[in-house]
Structure 1
Amino acid sequence: MGETIARFSIRRHRWVFGSVLALVVALGAWIPHIAIDTDPENMLAAEQADRVFDASIDERFDLYDTIVVGLVSERADVGIYHPESLAGLHALTRRIQAMEGVVANEVMSLATVDNVEQVVPGIISFDWLMDSPPETPEAAAELRAAVERLPMFLGSLVSEDGRAAGIFVPIEDKNDSHRIATRIATAAAELGLAEAVHITGQPVAQDTFGVQMFEQMAISAPLAGLLIFAIMVYFFRSVPLVMAPMLLAMATVIATMGLLIGLGYTVHIMSSMIPIFLMPIAVVDSVHVMSNFSDRYRQGRDPRQVMAEVIQELYKPIVFTSLTTSVGFASLILSPIPPVQVFGAFVAFGVLLAMVLSLTFLPAYVAVLPARTIDRMVARVHRHEREGSGGDCRLCRFVAAVGRLAARHGRALLVLFLLLLGVAVYGITQIQINDNPTRWFKASHDIRIADRVLNAHFAGTYEAYLVLEDRAGGDLASQLAAQAEPVLVEAREAGVDLQDDWRRLLAESRGDNARATLDNLMFAIDDRLFEVDADEARQWERLLAVAETLSSEALTFQNPEILRYLADLQAHLEMGGYVGKANSLADLVRTVNRELVSGEAADFRIPDSAAGVAQAILSYQSSHRPGDLWHFVADDYRSANVWLQLPSGDNQDMQRVLDAVDAHVAANPLPEGLALEWAGSTYINLVWQGEMVEGMLLALLSAFAVVFLMMIGLFRSFWYGLLAMLPLTFTVSFIYGVMGLFGKDYDMPVAVLSALSLGLSVDFAIHFIQRLREAVTEAGGDWREGLSRVFEEPARAITRNAIVIALGFTPLLVAPLVPYVTVGIFLAGIMAVSAVVTLLMLPAVVATWPRRFFGKTAAVAPDAGSAIDKEA
């Protein structure tokens, strides 16, 4: 089959070139329409429950994604409370409010919030805290004293030590955050602020990553390709010949990315790595083909015939390695994370495309190369005339030495591998599952620096929301009907029939929701009292009392006991060390109540009655920022939002916050009827990370089982199938074990690399085992001689592949984005470990149990010798 395909491609090379060119042009034309997506929310399906709830919370409490700007002063005495510093803060705030895409009326800084002070007991005033910057040190000191009386601002808008001031910048669209952050930085530079200005926040990290990811796509893949090209030129000593695998890899990457974009998919962090993953996969088969070709070809032979023979020999390994690799990546479709599904599906497509091109494009390319070009390549590569000694001499000697080591010390090597596997298993138990979008940048990046500095000064730049809802109240309309019915019956028995008028008032009072209906009804009943006689008025007053009682009971979060529970929960969280600050309606009510009563700290408390709470809320609504109330409580007062400021965005720390809440609620049960839910970007990151880990484990296990069955089918042997899985098993275990031992977090790029481990590890094993079986057959059943032959061209091809890919992706190590660095390190590790395990463990197993693989008659006499022994 392989020879037939090769000869067809050689004869119809123009048709092959035309088809490849048409495919690349047609699909590549979509690439300019690329759309970048770095929103972690999109790691979850649109209908996923946590994501849906998070979106509903944003709407219910009028919440926005927020950029955090911090000004850090070096003045040791007064810090930020210096006229010059405050003037700069004021000016920068006004510049930010004027920027397109910023929700101006929601910007929070000392220049945009109110100070609340008592005029006389029972009367308070709301004045701008810093309508204009203070001009004297004394005025700045007065401002400091005012801020320190406002707990909702201390630690958020100003650090507790007074050294830094913050500006919280809500934005209309998180995808504009990088542009807005850049404009803020420019404005700060133009103002010539004396303070160091830092800009961070999850939207900035995500959007900036998207911008730099796009830039990195245009840098890393070409650099890796260029280095791979240079290394292959070193091995094969022919630029024209090496151009074939490079063109093949480029065609594969362009066609795959063009198809992805053309089908309407956005390029997420995962799909941005498709070129990085496809490059080595596309090159691997090509290196096997070119290595075999360069070792077989001799001057005077027909290169077309040689290429046909090569494809015939490698057809089965190429097809099965491609299918197994494709299965490995296609298994990612089982993951519940949409971007991972897209990544897996399109890499699987790219692998199959690379397979087709390896079997067709490479023969067609060789067919049009001038014979003198190939002859020059052979003259450079072959340093010895003896058959089988082709390739670089040092590589020949190294591979032969590896073969001797594996044949002579098989049992010792297996013991060593078992010990290493034990250490790897221990390392795997130490793996920490964790991710944080801000850590996608290197520690020296401006965003990472800002993250460290601002979280050291402020309560936290990461956000999560703890939402409490009253779900026990039921339907207000039903409750109203049930409680009004006895009154209507008694009225009718007393000779006053209000049934028709009651139904009419209910219909006329119907509002947008049950709460609005109840308010309208109370107004309507109050008006009705002036139109009826005394007997009927008494009955209407009873109905009004029913409506008022129900209205009061429905205002769940005006209940003092519930607000006290909220305050206790906040205090518990703040003592735990993982929440910098918790802000809620309870803080607002306590602050206003203090000023209404005495202005003293003793009255910083929740009022004893619902009426007292209502008075505090009503008073706050006369401030300059009444809308801030609705960030903490819904307009029906049946749900409340606690804004948590977290100094860390790590998933592990978010989980610790969840655990702290669970512990508190277990010891102090929620008030009857209340339910607790989570929202916010830090929590959403935790959710998708958890789903990814579970999904990736399922995908890896499923792919492992399918590949194992494929190996058994390929070799028609259970034992050969098991042998082929050894490099995969050891490579994955070793890589993840080392990761655990060195404290590398298990995050998204690391999880997906397991699929690449599966494909590349099995690739080497298939080539080794298939060539070993053929060599043993050619040697008349002498497995030792067959093994020695495998450590000629086949082993050199595996070694070349490992070197090409491992070194080829070293440019990733200097990328500014950590996921790219991770991919570079792990790619090199996967290739190195896979090659070592294939060239040492597999021959060691075969040499230790030869009869298991070659039958009882396969063993040779001790004095028969082998090429390996003779070379020694």
Structure 2
Amino acid sequence: MSSSLAALYENAVLAHPRRCLLAMALVVAACAVFMPSFRLDSGSDSLILEDDADLRAYIQIRQTFPDEPFLLVAYQPKHDLFEPATLQALRALVDELEQVDGVEHVNSMLNAPLLLSPPLPITALLRGIPNLEDERVDKTLARKELTESPFYSEQLISRDGETTAIQLVLTKNPPLSEAIIERETLRGSRRSAALSPEESARLSELEERVSTLTAAEAEQQEKMVADIRAVLARHRDAADVYLGGLPMIVADMTAFVRRDLVVFGAGMIAFLALALWIVFRSKRFVFLPLLTCALVVVTMIGLLGLLDKPATVVSSNFISLLLIIGMSMAIHIAVRFDNLKQSGNARTKLKQAVVDVALPCFFCSLTTMVGFGSLVFSGIKPVMDFGLMMTAGIAVAYAFIFLVLAPLLVLTTAETAGSGDETAETEAENPLMLWLAKLTDAHGGLLFIAALVLLGVSVWGTTRLSVENRFIDYFHENTEIHQGMLLIDSKLGGTVPLEIVIDGGEKNYWINPAHRAKLRQAHEYLEQQSAVGKVLSLDATLKVAEEITGSRPLNSFLLGMLKTALPARFKEAVLEPFVDRDFRQVRLVARVVESDPNLKRQELLDGIRNHLINEIGFEADQVRITGMYVLYNNMLQSLFDSQIKTIGVVFLAILMMFLILFRSFPVAIIALVPNVFPVFLVLGIMGLLGIPLDLMTITIAAVSVGIAVDHTIHYVYRFRAEFEIHRDYRATLYRCHGGVGRAMFYTSVTIVAGFMILAASSFRPTIYFGIFTSLAMVTALFAAVTLLPYLLIRLRPFGREHHS
């Protein structure tokens, strides 16, 4: 720290520790008031791009083809599905589910309209359609119809007749839907022209309203999912039952996030306490850093509650990260103090230790903030929010370390007398650091060549990175969500919906038999795709009608009759979701098999579009492929671009920081070199192992560089200071390894072990985040204490040596 800033800091803070602590206590108290407002958000919005043209199209399509949010219960009885006792048990379950708050109505094989059990003339259908519980229905024919119907097979019942689906249609939320539509309209206007002040104010109001309504809906749906599971638990003696559907995935992800926040936050605190005790054997160097880091977390949670910035799946580890980052700064203070306290006044030495590490910690914090801040270039809202959240959190952590921990240490450090060298480091005491110093001294060139080879392999590995991941892979095989998705995929037609809307452009376009023939080709093509399960469209409805009437294809008269004369409930179920009132647009709904090991999202979409346009003959502007599948895939594809942007921005910003800190271009370039290895090593290994980028793993590069660069700054800063004293590069190497090297070692061990705690999560993205960030930290430490000093000794950027 420069002499003027050091004097100001000592006079304002260290000389008056009680005043400073009182002021910071007031800050913590003010923020703590808003802690109850902090919330979690794992809604489907976190899986899509905010500025996505397909999102706008999706919202527009919803106005023509309203979508009913639903949950799906897979019911696999222990006895034959059509036995009277089984049907009675199924009816009891359906009745209970209908009473759950948030469930509007329930669709099941019990109330499915049956047209062929026995076959009825179309005139009879106009008077009312029977279902499975109707006395007129033949159960044998009903089994055949349900398992073979293009509408019911793999939709309400598996082809083998052993598993049935219960569809829980959820209560709609018109205020939220209307707010989203208006918000997207204004966003669209903003992209084409500047909004008026009134429109800008309205957009801000809508953003807040959507956030509030979404949070309320998520809370209500989380309770509803819990209530449904309680009902299902009472029926597990009669059947194996699993819950599925996007609202359940959202609720479970929220539960995983909440558990990770609590469990790993507590586990991290416990581990850090143990690590600090092992390293320093001092109660105050355990309690005071932990207290300070805890206050950082309290303050940040309060600020996030005040600003209504929820944690998401991406940012669920922010508490652990803040604890680790704050603790790393505390360890550097402690080790520097330990190096200096061998002689002299203890309190004076403590103040000197704090001042010595304040500036490198400041630049470390800035570079880490840059690492996280670069995530705003991702274009993915939860990733951007995570970057901003951590950028603010690191600033808070730095402030608390030097405005809370430092004054606390000053107050608890006794005045002790002594004499001796006021600046020199103690000799190396850590055996590993001493060994690494000797290894670098003797074989630095070989290490550098090996590192270049490893870097080349890693860069090649990064070219094999992909974003082809599946929802089901996010969860362990023993979790209900994994087992339920697997059963639904294998028996009931798939999980995530993919929608295709084809616009004929004119009224009654789809009455024309030639056009309906092209629709049938599209439907059959989708059914042939291995990654596609159940496909529903107007064509499925027509196949049922053709079987009833015996007219193949259905003539225009009968189709007109189907359009106008059928009972409303029947049309709502099998007609209106797939064709608009004017027979101008049709909608095909294909459910994607998420458990398909060969699922390639973009390849599937490209293949569908190519076939519809180039093989069947639809015009490009007639076809719109949409749905949550498309929106999620768009987010995944954007990860590649954002990863490149993130890495480039981080390294450029770090180079600028090094230039400001070290005021030397050669030193800045040398310092940058070791930080390249952790990023490319981690990304390269992910590519070679076939581990895809996702919402969490995309942050590893930014997090790794942001934290790992701390080692470089501390080492170069101390190396320069020691070299000015001794003017001997090799001697400075050993002294730095024995001093700041020990702090780097303790910090790395703490960070690595802390991140490895995340490997105990049930959420696989969190596991990968913990493992690969730990690997990056190990690589960063090794590079900082081998390659970095080798380059400093070899290139001699601090001038000539002076030997006595």
Q: TM-score, normalised by structure 2?
A: 0.87
8 Å CA contact 1:850–1:859 kept in 2: the answer is no
Name the CA distance, whole Å, in 2 between partners of 1:80 and 1:723. 71
Matched, 1:590 2:521: no
Matched, 1:25 2:29: yes
Name the aligned partner's letter for residue 34 of structure 1: F
Structure 2 match to 1:440: 474
Superposition pairs of residues 522-671 of structure 1, within 5 angstroms: 554-597=507-550, 603=551, 605-607=552-554, 609-621=555-567, 624=570, 626-648=572-594, 653-671=600-618
Helix, strand or coil at the partner of 1:72: strand
8 Å CA contact 1:93–1:111 kept in 2: the answer is no
- Correspondence for 2:437 among 398, 403, 408: 403
8 Å CA contact 1:573–1:657 kept in 2: the answer is no
Distance 1:143 1:759, change over 3 A: same
Structure 2 match to 1:700: 647
The offset of 1:38, in angstroms, is 0.9
Name the aligned partner's letter for residue 858 of structure 1: E
The offset of 1:595, in angstroms, is 0.5
The offset of 1:354, in angstroms, is 1.8
Name the CA distance, whole Å, in 2 between partners of 1:814 and 1:672. 51
Name the CA distance, whole Å, in 1 between partners of 2:371 and 2:579. 48
8 Å CA contact 2:372–2:703 kept in 1: the answer is yes
Name the aligned partner's letter for residue 336 of structure 1: G
Structure of greater Rg: 1
The offset of 1:719, in angstroms, is 2.0
The offset of 1:161, in angstroms, is 1.6
The offset of 1:318, in angstroms, is 1.1
Distance 1:433 1:362, change over 3 A: same
8 Å CA contact 2:70–2:247 kept in 1: the answer is yes
Name the CA distance, whole Å, in 2 between partners of 1:796 and 1:315. 18
Name the CA distance, whole Å, in 1 between partners of 2:625 and 2:268. 43
Structure 1 match to 2:671: 724
Name the CA distance, whole Å, in 2 between partners of 1:307 and 1:672. 75
Name the CA distance, whole Å, in 1 between partners of 2:599 and 2:283. 50
- Correspondence for 2:321 among 265, 272, 277: 277
Equivalent residue pairs, number: 747
Structure 2 match to 1:248: 292
Structure 2 match to 1:234: 278
Name the CA distance, whole Å, in 1 between partners of 2:64 and 2:576. 8
Q: Which stretch shows the higher mean deviation, 176-185 or 119-128?
A: 119-128
8 Å CA contact 2:470–2:595 kept in 1: the answer is yes
8 Å CA contact 1:37–1:268 kept in 2: the answer is yes
The offset of 1:97, in angstroms, is 2.5
In structure 2, stretches of 5+ residues that fail to align are 173-216, 419-423
Give a deviation string over 1:249-286, Cα, whole Å, max 9, x none: 22222222221221122322223322122221111111
Helix, strand or coil at the partner of 1:703: helix
Distance 1:671 1:422, change over 3 A: closer
Structure 2 match to 1:66: 70
Matched, 1:295 2:339: yes
Name the CA distance, whole Å, in 2 between partners of 1:346 and 1:181. 29
Give a deviation string over 1:452-477, Cα, whole Å, max 9, x none: 1221222112212111224x44xxxx
Superposition pairs of residues 36-51 of structure 1, within 5 angstroms: 36-44=40-48, 48-51=52-55
8 Å CA contact 1:54–1:679 kept in 2: the answer is yes
8 Å CA contact 2:531–2:599 kept in 1: the answer is no
8 Å CA contact 1:3–1:309 kept in 2: the answer is no
Superposition pairs of residues 409-488 of structure 1, within 5 angstroms: 409-470=443-504, 472-473=505-506
Name the CA distance, whole Å, in 2 between partners of 1:770 and 1:577. 58
Matched, 1:675 2:627: no
Matched, 1:812 2:780: no
Please report the RMSD computed on the Cα atoms of aligned residues, expressed in angstroms. 2.7
Name the aligned partner's letter for residue 88 of structure 1: A
Structure 2 match to 1:166: 165
Name the CA distance, whole Å, in 1 between partners of 2:556 and 2:243. 41
Name the CA distance, whole Å, in 2 between partners of 1:9 and 1:673. 68
Structure 1 match to 2:88: 87
8 Å CA contact 1:593–1:616 kept in 2: the answer is no
Identical pairs, percent: 21
The offset of 1:817, in angstroms, is 2.3
Structure 1 match to 2:230: 186
Give a deviation string over 1:480-530, Cα, whole Å, max 9, x none: xxxxxxxxxxxxxxxxxxxxxxxxxxxxxxxxxxxxxxxxxxxxxxxxxxx
8 Å CA contact 2:675–2:780 kept in 1: the answer is yes
Q: Which stretch shows the higher mean deviation, 331-340 or 568-577?
A: 331-340
8 Å CA contact 2:322–2:393 kept in 1: the answer is yes
Helix, strand or coil at the partner of 1:465: strand
Structure 1 match to 2:214: none
8 Å CA contact 1:559–1:613 kept in 2: the answer is no
Q: Which stretch shows the higher mean deviation, 354-363 or 699-708?
A: 354-363
The offset of 1:778, in angstroms, is 0.9
The offset of 1:367, in angstroms, is 1.5
Name the CA distance, whole Å, in 2 between partners of 1:43 and 1:452. 21
Name the CA distance, whole Å, in 2 between partners of 1:436 and 1:777. 56
The offset of 1:133, in angstroms, is 9.6
Name the CA distance, whole Å, in 1 between partners of 2:548 and 2:616. 31
Name the aligned partner's letter for residue 128 of structure 1: P
Structure 2 match to 1:108: 107
8 Å CA contact 1:585–1:629 kept in 2: the answer is yes
Helix, strand or coil at the partner of 1:114: coil
Distance 1:614 1:23, change over 3 A: same
8 Å CA contact 2:37–2:308 kept in 1: the answer is no
8 Å CA contact 2:347–2:414 kept in 1: the answer is no
Helix, strand or coil at the partner of 1:634: coil
The offset of 1:120, in angstroms, is 4.4
Structure 2 match to 1:327: 370
Give a deviation string over 1:7-57, Cα, whole Å, max 9, x none: 432221112211221122211221211232212324546564222222333
8 Å CA contact 2:155–2:493 kept in 1: the answer is yes
Distance 1:699 1:397, change over 3 A: closer
Helix, strand or coil at the partner of 2:696: helix
Matched, 1:315 2:317: no
Distance 1:819 1:22, change over 3 A: farther
8 Å CA contact 1:423–1:737 kept in 2: the answer is yes
Helix, strand or coil at the partner of 1:580: strand
Distance 1:353 1:666, change over 3 A: same
The offset of 1:88, in angstroms, is 2.3
8 Å CA contact 1:102–1:171 kept in 2: the answer is yes
Structure 1 match to 2:153: 154
Structure 1 match to 2:379: 336
Distance 1:762 1:622, change over 3 A: closer
The offset of 1:406, in angstroms, is 0.7
Name the CA distance, whole Å, in 1 between partners of 2:240 and 2:78. 8
Q: TM-score, normalised by structure 1?
A: 0.81
Superposition pairs of residues 358-377 of structure 1, within 5 angstroms: 358-371=401-414
Name the aligned partner's letter for residue 131 of structure 1: E
The offset of 1:122, in angstroms, is 6.8
8 Å CA contact 1:292–1:794 kept in 2: the answer is yes
Name the CA distance, whole Å, in 2 between partners of 1:45 and 1:447. 25
Name the CA distance, whole Å, in 2 between partners of 1:672 and 1:817. 43
Superposition pairs of residues 486-501 of structure 1, within 5 angstroms: none
Name the aligned partner's letter for residue 262 of structure 1: L
Helix, strand or coil at the partner of 2:25: helix
Name the CA distance, whole Å, in 2 between partners of 1:777 and 1:388. 13
Name the CA distance, whole Å, in 1 between partners of 2:285 and 2:669. 36
Name the CA distance, whole Å, in 1 between partners of 2:26 and 2:270. 24
Helix, strand or coil at the partner of 1:103: strand
Distance 1:723 1:606, change over 3 A: farther
Name the aligned partner's letter for residue 43 of structure 2: D
Give a deviation string over 1:216-262, Cα, whole Å, max 9, x none: 21221121022012101110111112223222222222222221221
Structure 1 match to 2:100: 99
Q: Which stretch shows the higher mean deviation, 235-244 or 41-50?
A: 41-50
Name the CA distance, whole Å, in 2 between partners of 1:132 and 1:612. 27
Distance 1:334 1:809, change over 3 A: closer
Helix, strand or coil at the partner of 2:576: helix
